[in-house]
Structure 1
Amino acid sequence: MQTAEIRRRFLAHFENAGHTVVPSAPLLFDDPNLLFVNAGMVPFKPYFLGQETPPWDTATSVQKCVRTQDIEEVGKTTRHGTFFQMNGNFSFGDYFKAGAITHAWSLITSSVDDGGLGFDPDTIWVTVLHSDDEARSLWKEIAGLPDERIQSRGLLDNYWHMGVAGPGGPASEIYVDRGPEFGPDGGPVVDEDRFLEIWNLVFMQEEITNVRAKDQFDVLGDLPNKNIDTGMGLERVAYLLQGKGNLYEIDEVFPVIEKASEISGRTYGKDHADDVRFRVVADHVRSGLMLMGDGVTPGNEARGYVLRRLLRRAVRSMRLLGYDDPALPELLPVSLDRMKASYPELEADFPRISQIAYAEEDAFRQTLGKGTQIFESAAIAVKDSGGTTLPGEQAFALHDTYGFPIDLTLEMASEQGLAVDEEGFRSLMAEQRSRAKADAKSKKGAHADTTVYRAALDANGPTDWLAYTDLTTESRVIALIAGGDSVPAIPAGSIGEVVLDRTPFYAESGGQNADAGVLTWDGGRAEVLDVQRPVRGLVVHQVRVLDGELTLDQQLEAAVDPEWRLGARQAHSGTHVVHAALREVLGPTALQSGSYNRPGYLRLDFGWNSALSPDQLHQVEDVSNRALRADLPVSAQIMSLPEAREWGALALFGETYGEDVRVVEIGGPWSRELCGGTHVERSSQIGTLVITSDGSVGAGNRRIEALTGIEGFDYLARERDVVRQLTDILKTQPDEVPARVRDLVERLKSAEKTAERMKAAQLLGAAGDVAATAKDVNGVAYVGHHAAGAGGGDVRTLALDIRGRLRDRPAVVVVIGDAGDKPAAVVALNDAAQERGLSANQLIGVVGDKIGGRGGGKADVAQGGGTDVSAIPAALAAVEAALSA
């Protein structure tokens, strides 16, 4: 049974049982604790935590998930995969244990002809929490399982909680017996390879606190509503139903292995080391495809770094399989072909996805070249010192800076006849992981306490939000909050939070800043500093009370600053215009990946792999301003999400949308986006649009900044003033300014080159005098010279010139310059000095120790730099002392 068919059957089973089918949330879900969604219940977490009221009593989903903590283990076991899909069914105070067990048993044991998965009931085992007699009885009653196939386990295995205070409860796990060829008999408590877990049913029934460990916490009592949260691993079920040995061989993954085998000439299944590499390739290519499909672009931090690491590990694994040509253009389309059945949006978006992926591989191939040079220098240094092992810190630096895995470093070291200090490398890796875990732990529990906001919402209902239509409202204070608690009043001079029954203020969202304005009442006034939605349906204003005292139930006027709102509308509509212009000029793959706007200013991030040329930027700006001049109508409509997608509306990557969405159009289909922001009524009201910058914000992602409205006119006026000043200084016309400036710059460069040549001539002219100062140190002619004002190139030239004048005897020359208040040192030895066993590479280390730096090179010439100019005399003396020893 194909994976997509298993997915379809799961959703159909629960939809037929009355569950609402909830689409998968994007992998970039907004959760302060997570880089990516890593479990099927994550999108439902606010409902389980009581932060929001669920819109359904029961739901089902197949959630895209990514787990990154075991990337190094991918391919080595049958269990570790980066991207996976979690089937789940959820009950929010509706059915409980009996319902969950009934639904699960029916799906897994019903025949294929009847829409089930067709597992043999005699192969099913389950585990329950040792104290959960109710679950044990229900499994016997509903499924007819005998006692010996219902095994008890402790809290570590069969109790679920989030690791923080909140809901928890016993779990019951469903296992399939794969047969005696996979291990010993005795159920999952004996062997979890033979008895493979496919489904975990969580019975959320208790409120816990003081969580100290997985099995150490205190139970406060029963939850008011008992909930169900289940998770079935789609890939695990697939490889069982497809008769495969592991998740890498299922229909959605194995075709990539087949293609990798074809182009590399290696055969899967013959060599364990190669098999691991094939599996890494298949897993990481699919994971990368899904991450890029949800808007992640490669980078050096957070989510971008995870994607970069996955893609580069796939490329490196292909290299270790003997394939040195670009691999992703061969492999990524194969993964797309297998995944588009479940995620058809990938095919439509593949031009953008492939552009990002292929550019990242190209960049990594260049990085590999640079890293290889670093490795070769380190290898030469080890050999020159008589060593045979590359230090662990250098292997770690290659891994951390250039993305070299240890297996690649081991391979390269072996080619050089060297070993690698793997223990030292792994120690440094362990330190890094410990720091990462400590950081993650410090962030755990970052879920905001929304109790006070929930109480306000429950007591008064949703805020009557009028930001689309009004600038002022007559409102009543229904809640006041300070320090996380409800308060009866906020005195003058204090900052607090205010909840009104109705408001015209826009709450920050979708990249648009919150409105500014004031609240006024009889005898008082407060400045609105920020506006947020801490829970769905509730608008909260952060204010500073300027006069009087703000009290509960106070009647007041809420007024948005009209100039602020006008500037915000211009900037947000301008963002949509620039996005449409980019797509018109660059093509449909130039999709927005993020934005920010405030009055008069907009910033738009979009997927693109190279800097925009001046002509392209001019075209984007020209298309944008022509759209303004065309006075295009701007409209907004509410529709269902499927209708919006059918209509061609663009959605922002990483955003989570409800069932009904707001679609904003500018000029009809020219610009059609999902958006909750405030906008002008016609494009001409934007005023003007001036692009001020274009820059990179990571591989495959660029950022355009622009000004709108009066801010745009002010910018152009300042530019005009700069040109006017230049024409006055240069005594020329505005259109002649660029040529005159270029001429001046060329003349300045020529003068600088002349000065440099004169300076070099002076230095070299002094070479003879400096060589004459050579002193005999232990039978070696030693010259230690401080070349005041000299930079690195001049220092090297001078040192080699002096060495050339000392051919008649062993000679060591050390020259240190101080240009820019930074020491630049060169050590040069002639052949006779080297025959005495001396090495420039060793002596540069003596210099570096003194001047606060480092260096390297070969036995005849080495160079380096430092930070302490005052230590130059001490460095020269230290070399002399080393020669005397």
Structure 2
Amino acid sequence: MKRLGLHEIRSEYLKYFESKEHLVLPSFSLVPKSDKSLLLIGAGMAPMKKYFTGEALPPSKRVSTCQKCIRTGDIENVGKTARHATFFEMLGNFSFGDYFKKEAIAFAWEFLTVNLEINPEDLWVTVYLDDDEAWEIWNKEIGVPENRIVRLGKEDNFWELSVGPSGPCSEIYIDRGKEFGCDDPDCKPGCDCDRFLEVWNLVFTQFDKDEEGNYNPLSNPNIDTGMGLERIATVLQDTNNIFEIDAIHDLLEGICEKANYKYGEKAKSDESVRVITDHIRAMTFMISDSIIPSNEGRGYVLRRLIRRAARHGRLLGLKEAFLYELANKVIDSWKVEYKELEENRSMIQNVILKEEERFLKTLETGMERLTAAMDSLEKEGKKMLDGEEAFKLYDTYGFPVDLTSEILEERDFQVDMEGFQKEMDAQRTRAREARDDSDNIGWTGTNKTNVFEDLGEIDFKGYETTEVKDTKIVGILLNNERVESVEEEEKAIFVLNPTPFYGESGGQVGDKGTIIGEDFEIQVEDCQRTKEGTIYSIGRVTKGTAKLQNVTAKVDVARREKIRRNHSVTHLLHKALKEVLGEHVSQAGSLVGEDFMRFDFTHFESIQPEQLREIEQKVNEQIYESLPVSTDEMTMKEATEAGAVGLFEDKYGEKVRVVSMGDYSKELCGGTHVDNTAQIGMFKILSESGIAAGIRRVETITGLGAYKYMNEILEERREASALLKANPNQLVEKISQRLEEEKKLQHTLQELQSELAKDQVKGLEEGKKEVEGIAFIAAELNGVAVDEMRNLAEDLREKEQAVIVLSSVNGEKVNFVCASPKSAIEKGVRAGDVVKEVAKIAGGGGGGRPDMATAGGKNPEKASEAIEAVEGILKNLI
């Protein structure tokens, strides 16, 4: 048996199948493309599902890959056992209507016994109960003895989906020896003991299962195989589990070195080391594939992994962020196959560090709350944490409920998951309601259904024109009731068919305009659409009585043009963001209005000024290139193959609109756009900010709005120059000079205030008094800043070994400072307690350390009364 390293096995495998005329493809992304049924890629064949179903044409009939995979179904068990893992690599060879059982079996046997030099006598195989063909190949052609071929039933040796490609499979096992087995003399694959380890699964996809459950033979059967890279490495390196194989063990050792811990000393600490070892690989690869921590979907999976690993680091004594450094070990080792890891090194580290720091800030507070809750449960003899409390830990302190559950299990408690889910659902409901447009005048009717659904599909003409002369009002809603007419000055909802008005969607606001009837006019103030696609206009009758009749509809063209410019620039901006910040950037929302555009996107940190300038320049360059803007209707499949960018998790119909801007940008979009990027005119970024964890926002303007903004900036510059009596070209230099002068004046002022304060405290020593054996000085000052009072109090305390209480009136407020020596603190006189009571008299409050504290009061006229009360306050505290 060859003793090969993890990375050597991968290379050996891919080279072997390349020699067998297989096209070796790089691993697909962990993010499924155009497959809403999957959150993350969890199997070698998953990214090629459409090749098996015939929906897409494969690049070759023979393909081989090493696919990175994530599975989180057993995440709670990762670390507790040495078997479970979230990240793994799956070796696979695939045939799409080319070779079948005979070749697949021969390839597998040759690779294991010849290339990896595994003893054939150590290998066993299983076949499906009725698959005589596979049995014959293994026995007659490969030469595996009958007693080492095991027939198993559908549960073990048949692969299928509810509907679609399916078929029997054959698994290859390695006999690890009797010492791993049970006492059953007939022990063989299928037994629950650890003797036989399955290393390779060969799936013979020969049927198409229909909705009635019938297995119809495929005219071109396929082959789908999978062998876990880590599992075959454990065999070749003769280790007990994946944490002992070379590359992964290097990670484990790195964690132990960081934590100054020797693996094997404590079971609980070993568990933490295994959790971090597994999770650091998973998070590194996920971030490299542009997944950003969030509270939903795959982003939530990533957040769980980072936070779970960070907490286990704390259990090992690692108080500061450390995972971002360990990611380097993964990158340095795995970049031999995955070059994108090196390219994304900086981003990977930054995303992990930001999430670690965010979690560590709340971890201590959240743990205090959770510990207190567990203590209460223990006192009350309960075993279940309330779902509302678990939700608060999630919502306020960022504790994934799985993490809360795991911590509870350590003390034999559980989470009320039903109650937690109830709170989650309530939050989602609140969020949905918050998004409802209160100005829709009840277009859904009182029963929350679309009262216009009988009108059928509305024909939208707004892509081609801004005026429709021969249209008709087909529906009117007034005060939640369908009516046939609306009087002058009344506001109602009107449905036109066809309509030129764009209903708000995809971030673009709705149109405004006018509807002109035979003897009435309607001013359209907004336009919306129902979830079913009914477009409706909200408007006020400005003349006559509006009725169900033929009308002319005119869009406010000037406003529409502004919106078109702002919407078109979102596409250029999206592309520029990806180019400057990285491919992980993805649109997370937008608001396209007439005066500005707001664009939200995934990114893990604030954007540097020089990056913003580069993004802005890239967008303007595309505007000045006068790129033609074209729109094509195509199927989702065609759009994906054409490389269109879009929110692929959104719902789309059979046909989608793909908007192309030259060769620069291609996106799915249902909005209205310019015909040429030059029509945008000019683009300016006004601001950049963070709005949520991993979500950034930029606000921008275009066209005449940008021109106007630039003129306003120049005018402000001119006015500032005039005030400073400076040439506009020397404005920055002049401001720097003034700031330097101000700094010097501030320094001089502070020196004068310090001297004034010292003059005021001269002779205070003579006013030293004593109460219950504790010396104190209480005095009023005037116009002395808090910082200066603090310095004076500290000096007096050290010099006189007395409790010092000082006050100073500054404007309409009085400030207090108290300094207490160690001897007084030991007798119960803490500065924070003293100053708190003193400030109360002047209508304020405050506190601080036992040796130094400050406070403020709203009633400066009571400063004297407060200082006179010091002696009594000290008596009460001693």
TM score, norm. by length of structure 2:
0.59
Q: Is the 8 A contact 2:288 2:341 kept in 1?
A: no
> Does residue 585 of structure 2 align to residue 581 of structure 1?
no
Mapped contact 2:512–2:555 kept (Cα < 8 A): yes
Deviation at 1:865, TM superposition (A): 4.1
Q: Partner of 1:440 in structure 2?
A: 427
Matched with 1:537 is 533
After superposition, residues 457-856 of structure 1 pair within 5 angstroms as 457=453, 459-473=454-468, 474-551=470-547, 553-652=548-647, 655-666=650-661, 668-807=662-801, 811-816=802-807, 825-834=816-825, 836=827, 838-844=829-835, 846=837, 853-856=845-848
Q: Deviations over 1:92-140 (max 9, x none)?
A: xxxxxxxxxxxxxxxxx9979999xx995799xxxxxxxxxxxxxxxxx
| Contact 1:489/1:550, CA 8 A, preserved across alignment | yes
Q: Whose RCO is larger (CA < 8 A, sep 6+)?
A: 1
Tell me the CA shift for residue 734 of structure 1. Answer: 1.9
SS at match of 1:502: coil
Rounded Cα–Cα distance in structure 2 between residues aligned with 1:179 and 1:847: 78
CA distance 1:398–1:500, shift in 2 (3 Å): closer
Pick which of 846-855 and 610-619 moved more: 846-855
1:628, 1:684 within 8 Å by CA — same for their partners in 2?
Answer: yes
SS at 1:464 equivalent: coil
Q: 2:440: which partner in 1?
A: none
Counting aligned pairs with the same residue, the percent is 29
Between the aligned partners of 1:750 and 1:305, the Cα distance in structure 2 is 52
1:692, distance to aligned residue in structure 2 (A): 2.0
Residues 121-520 of structure 1: pairs in structure 2 closer than 5 A: 261=252, 263-265=254-256, 271=267, 275=271, 297-298=293-294, 308=303, 311-321=306-316, 326-327=322-323, 358-363=349-354, 366=357, 436=423, 439-440=426-427, 443=430, 454=450, 456-457=452-453, 459-473=454-468, 474-520=470-516
Q: Label 1:617 to 1:540 Cα distance change in 2 as closer, same or farther (>3 A).
A: same
Match of 1:881 among 856, 859, 872: 872
Aligned counterparts, 1:95-114, within 5 A: none
Contact 2:488 2:543 in 1 (8 A): yes
The AA in structure 1 aligned to 2:616 is E
> Within 2, Cα distance between the matches of 1:849 and 1:572?
57
Structure 2 CA distance, aligned partners of 1:674 and 1:825?
A: 63
Aligned to 2:623, the other structure's residue is in SS state: helix
Q: In the alignment, is the contact (CA less than 8 A) between 2:839 and 2:857 conserved in 1?
A: no
The aligned amino acid for 2:853 is Q
Per the alignment, residue 196 of structure 2 pairs with none
Q: Which sections of structure 2, spanning at least 5 residues, go unmatched?
A: 1-32, 41-68, 88-127, 135-150, 157-189, 194-226, 232-239, 257-261, 370-390, 437-443
After TM superposition, the structure 1 stretch with the greater mean CA deviation from structure 2, 723-732 or 586-595, is 586-595
One-letter amino acid of the counterpart of residue 855, structure 1: G
Deviations 1:277-313 (A, max 9, x none): 85698689869987997865558x9998996565333
Q: Match of 2:35?
A: 23
Q: Which residue of 2 aligns with 1:412?
A: none
| Other structure's SS at 2:708 match | helix
| Aligned-pair CA distance for 1:567 | 0.5
Alpha-carbon distance in structure 2 between the residues aligned to 1:873 and 1:614: 52
2:293 touches 2:355 (CA, 8 Å); kept in 1?
A: no
TM-score w.r.t. the length of structure 1 is 0.59
The structure-2 alpha-carbon separation of the partners of 1:326 and 1:631, relative to structure 1 and needing over 3 Å to count, comes to same
- Contact 1:771–1:805 (8 Å) recurs in 2: no
1:243-295 per-residue CA deviation (whole Å, 9 max, x = no partner) reads xxxxxx999xx999988756435879983675488569868986998799786
Change (3 A) 1:112 1:752: farther
Q: Cα gap change, 1:66/1:708 in structure 2, threshold over 3 Å: closer, same or farther?
A: farther
Report the counterpart of residue 151 of structure 1 in structure 2. Answer: none
- Number of equivalences: 645
Residue deviations 1:196-249, cap 9 Å, x none? xxxxxxxxxxxxxxxxxxxxxxxxxxxxxxxxxxxxxxxxxx99xx9xxxxxx9
The 3-state SS of whatever aligns with 2:720 is helix
Please say which of residues 773-782 and 354-363 is displaced more in the overlay: 354-363
The amino acid of 2:804's aligned partner reads: V
Query: Which residue type is aligned with residue 23 of structure 1?
Result: D
Provide the secondary structure at the position in 2 that maps to 1:531.
strand
Per-residue deviation, 1:728: 2.8
Residues 25 and 656, structure 1, Cα contact 8 Å, conserved in 2 = no
Output the CA distance in 1 between the equivalents of 2:254 and 2:131. Answer: 37
Supply the RMSD in Å over aligned alpha carbons.
Answer: 5.9
CA pair 400-466 structure 1, distance change in 2 beyond 3 A? closer
- Equivalent pair of 2:467/2:552 in contact (CA under 8 Å): yes
Specify whether residues 110 and 279 from structure 1 end up closer, same or farther in structure 2 by C-alpha distance, changes over 3 A only. Answer: farther
What amino acid maps onto 2:776 in structure 1? Y
Cα distance change, pair 470–864 in 1 and its aligned pair in 2 (3 A)? same
Offset of 1:560 from its aligned partner?
0.7
1:862 aligns with 2:849: no
Kept in 1: contact 2:291–2:302 (CA 8 A): no
Cα deviation, 1:18-71, whole Å, max 9, x if unaligned, reads xxx99316979xxxxxxxxxxxxxxxxxxxxxxxxxxxxxxxxxxx99999x99
Deviation at 1:370, TM superposition (A): 6.7
Q: Which protein has the larger Cα radius of gyration, Structure 1 or Structure 2?
A: 2
State whether residues 836 and 855 of structure 2, in contact with CA within 8 Å, keep that contact through their aligned partners in structure 1.
no
Mapped to 2, the partners of 1:269 and 1:543 lie a distance apart of 75
The alpha carbon displacement at 1:801 in A equals 2.3
Alignment partners' CA distance in 1, 2:840 and 2:648: 51
